[in-house]
Amino acid sequence: MYSYSKDGITVSVMLDTRKVNAQGKYPVKIRVNYKRVREYFPTGKDLSKERC
């Protein structure tokens, strides 16, 4: 996972292993933390655990 933080905002790219699709791949999401509130944004890309 890659993270960037500045001025109290943290942006991370993550493999969401909580959900698997029919091809056995996991969605890649952008996670944004601001003032202890976490939001996830889809990228539209899927990867397997081996590709990470």
pLDDT digits (tens, 9 = 90+) for 1-52: 689 999 999 999 999 999 899 999 999 999 999 999 999 999 999 999 886 6
Which pLDDT value is given to residue 51? Answer: 67
How far apart are the C-alpha atoms of 14 and 33, rounded to whole Å? 13
Is residue 46 within 8 A of residue 25, CB to CB? The reply is yes
CA distances from 43 to 12, 27, 28, 36 (A): 12, 8, 6, 22
Query: What is the pTM for the complete model shown?
Result: 0.78
